[in-house]
Amino acid sequence: MYSNDLVCDILDYIDQNINQKISIVELSNRFYFHKDYIMRLFKKEIHCTITQYINELRVYQSLYDLQTSKESILYVGLNHGFTSLEYYSEVFHKVMGISPIIYRKFSNRFIDVSEEDILTIQKNLARLSHFFENIARYRGNRKKELSFTLSIFK
């Protein structure tokens, strides 16, 4: 079964603009479909809301910066499209089950991180990895456009 072209286009748009503000109304205007239709279709195909997808992608992409960057957690959050430290921390905790501070400690060789937090991090990293693998598979099932030319026109 093929993936829905509209959903693939929305995923592409989100990926290309992930660090910008993205609203359902903007997606509705951009793709010329009613926002309720877009939200229902996306949820049906991807099994999460558009907002959940955006937040999970932003958090997932911020993990590397938390591991490697010496920048503040505020800077990392703002750099990945969040509007405040509070919102970044709240979403990060929903997605990862721990705070960005604990994740940063975890990535710095488990300094002051409990076994429970380590297990939570490992479980959620595996879940996110699996989620984005499924998204990649979904995109890979997009119907390919046939492109051919007749030999008499060469």
Domain spans, the chain: 5-138
Token pair, residue 123, equals 């479980």
> Which pLDDT does position 152 carry in this prediction?
60
C-alpha to C-alpha distance for 150 and 46, rounded to whole angstroms: 38
Residue 47 has a pLDDT of 95
Q: Output the CA–CA distances (angstroms, integers) from residue 52 to 49, 57, 99, 144, 153, in the order listed.
A: 5, 8, 18, 28, 49
What residues in the chain have per-residue pLDDT under 50?
Answer: none
- The set of residues, in sequence order, having a beta carbon less than 8 Å from that of 45 and lying 6+ positions away, is 3, 4, 7, 138
What integer pLDDT is reported at residue 126 of this predicted model?
Answer: 96
For residues 39 and 50, the answer to whether their CB atoms sit within 8 Å is yes
Instruction: Tell the CATH superfamily of the 5-138 domain.
Output: Homeodomain-like (1.10.10.60)
What pLDDT sits at residue 28?
Answer: 95
